[in-house]
Amino acid sequence: MNKIPLVNLGAQYKSICSEVQMAIQRVLDNGSFIQGPEVKAFEESFGELIGTNALGVASGTAALFLGLKAIGVGPGDEVITTGHTFIATVEAIEQCGAIPILVDIDPKTYNINADLIETAISPKTKAVIAVHLYGLPANLFQIKEICDRHKIHLIEDAAQAHLAKIEKKYVGSIGDVGCFSFYPGKNLGAYGDAGAVTSSEPKIFEMIRMLRDHGRTTKYEHQYWGFGERLDGIQAAILGVKIKHLKSWTQKRQEHASNYTKMLKNVDVITPFVPGGFEHVYHLYVIRTKKRDLLLSKLKSQEIEAGIHYPIPIHMQPCYINSKFPKISLPETEKAAKEILSIPIYPELTLEEQTRIVNIIKETV
């Protein structure tokens, strides 16, 4: 029986390999390895797609870090975010010398519970990072209203949510700063590390442009103490090829998700919940069951790769548990971590593969 991977980058590469090879060759020929015309062209098309302005950076982590720096987050400041995310969200806060304040999730969406944000705000709060986890937008309308009322910044961690929408607006175009990752397995993935920052605020945008490139204003003049977090030409050229397919790949993910949800309708697992007016892009298709560990091992024994995003909440990670968050408890986050399971989803997934996966789920739960 064929193995079904969690993500299938090989299948995607096969469908675009000649375009990708030509794009890489172009960079090798013109020698623009750092920034240069390919980066500029990709920034323009990504910004246009999202409906704002975009800057290429070295990774999603760099995007978060530079976004926080550009709005002035520094030592002693507090930044509110969720305890149920990839650790990079929280690392970026720490890299600024600021203090992460973790709040619990809404167990229906797995995103930050907007009702809990207000009580976490203190005079030191500088920003909220809303993570659009799994490809489902966080409740930005409520979060934005809270941020505006308290005059704090809203940063979107859209690393998993390219082309996800709230009321027809793409995520990354709603907060002060949007942060995207093009890690290879993301919905839009490079063939190495890459990321982008989006912002409609000219001041923030120009600051990030300088900070990513050693605080430069001109070749030899450094206005700020900056960083080396630029996007390289080869990755930008590859992304320039892939961005043309992103809408159709996203649609495929959504079709597969809708198939899963239909097939699992009368099965004792919780399927993803999408609030009205929100559009999910299914970076991950996450189900929930008390029999998670059993199901995971059954799938594995049938050569089906599944994953847990994430099994250890941030505040319980070894690097934190004894220091930063010794006392906090996030009950919904902790409960979800024991019951969630990401099953394979990628544009090239077939109905046959989905049926095989669903059958194992049915037999197990």
Per-residue b or e along 187-208, where b marks 16 or more CB atoms closer than 10 Å to that residue's CB: bbbbbebbbbbbbbbeebbebb
Residues 192-221 that bind ligand PLP (CB under 6 A): 193, 195
Element (H, E) at 119: helix 117-120
| Bridge partners, residue 153, by sequence | 127
Of 61 and 254, nearer to ligand PLP (C-beta) is: 61
Cα four-point dihedral sign 118, 121, 127, 131? negative
Q: Is 61 in the site for ligand PLP (CB under 6 A)?
A: yes
- Cα-Cα-Cα-Cα torsion 314, 77, 81, 305, nearest 10 degrees, comes to -40
Tokens representing residue 40 in the block:
């500029």
Segment interacting with ligand PLP, rule: CB under 6 A, options 98-106, 154-162, 206-214, 296-304: 154-162
Question: Which residues make Cβ contacts (< 8 Å) with residue 168, sequence separation at least 6?
Answer: none
206 by DSSP, 3-state: which?
A: helix
Site size toward ligand PLP (CB under 6 A) is: 15
Closest distance to ligand PLP from the beta carbon of 132 (Å): 8
Which of 181, 187, 198, 342 binds ligand PLP (CB under 6 A)? It is: 181
DSSP code for 135: G
Is residue 78 helix, strand or coil?
strand
Q: How far is the CB of 214 from ligand PLP (least distance, A)?
A: 20
For ligand PLP, give the closer residue by CB, 235 or 254.
235
Please identify the residue of the shown chain whose CB is closest to the bound ligand PLP: 60
Contacts of 297 (CB under 8 A, 6+ apart): none
Which of the ranges 56-64, 222-230, 316-324, 325-333 carries the binding residues for ligand PLP, by CB under 6 A?
56-64
Q: Which of 134, 183, 260, 285 binds ligand PLP (CB under 6 A)?
A: 183
Q: Does 260 bind ligand PLP (CB under 6 A)?
A: no
Using DSSP bridges, classify how beta strands 195-199 and 153-157 pair: parallel, antiparallel or unpaired: unpaired
Nearer to ligand PLP, 132 or 356 (CB): 132
Among 77, 104, 156, 157, binds ligand PLP (CB under 6 A): 157
- At 270, give phi and psi (nearest 5°): -90, 125
160 binds ligand PLP (CB under 6 A): yes
Which spans of this chain sit near ligand PLP (rule: CB under 6 A)? 59-61, 85-86, 88-89, 131, 157, 159-160, 181, 183, 193, 195
